[in-house]
Amino acid sequence: MTDTAFGPTALATPANYVTIARLLISPVLLVAIMDSGASWWLLAGWTALCLTDGIDGYLARRHGTTRSGAFLDPLADKVLVLGALAALVAIDRFWIVPVLIIAAREVAISMYRSYWARRGLSIPARSSAKLKTVTQQLAVAFALVPAAANPEWVAEGLLWAAVVLTVATGLHYLYDGSRAGERTV
C-alpha cells in the first residue's frame, strides 16, 4: 500500500479532515466548559482535541502540506485555545487580562502574517510558537482538572507563562517580518 501525496492546492486531505473535525467539535467542548466547569471528562475531551493537532501535523508531513492546511490548522488552534480561555473567563476560572493579552497577540500576528503573505512573503512558525501553543493548552488542561485534585496556582502559573511566551513569539514574528521586508526592498 502506497501513501497518497497531495499537492499544495489539495483540499480533501487526511490532515484537513482531522483539522475540520477539531473545528467542528471545539464549540461542543466550549459549551460544555461553560455548562460544567472542570471535570475529568472535559479534561479528557480537551486532551484528545489537543492531541489531534499533532495527528494532523503528522498526516500533513506524511501526505504533503497544503495551503488550505496551512490556513486551517492555525485557525483550529486559535478557535480551540482562545475559545477555551474565553469559556474559562466566563465561568470565573481565569482572569480576563492575561486572556485578552493572548487574544490580542493572536489576532495581531495573524493579521501581520496575512499582510506579508499577500506580498508573497511567508513568515514561518518558529519552534517557540509551538511551545507557546502547548503552554496555552496546558493552562487550559490544568484549569479543567477538578478543584479537589488541582491547586489553582498551577493553571494560573501556566497561563502567565503562556502570556510571556505569547508576547515573546509575537515579537519574534515582528522581527522576522521586518527582516523579510528588508530583503524585498
In CATH terms, the superfamily for domain 14-184 is: CDP-alcohol phosphotransferase transmembrane (TM) domain (1.20.120.1760)
Whether 136 and 106 have beta carbons less than 8 Å apart is answered as no
Ramachandran region of residue 64, left (φ > 0), alpha (ψ -120 to 50) or beta?
left
Per-residue pLDDT tens for 78-108?
999 999 999 999 999 999 999 999 999 999 9
Prediction pTM value: 0.88
Per-residue pLDDT tens for 2-45?
456 777 777 788 889 999 999 999 999 999 999 998 999 999 99
Residue 185 predicted with pLDDT over 60: no
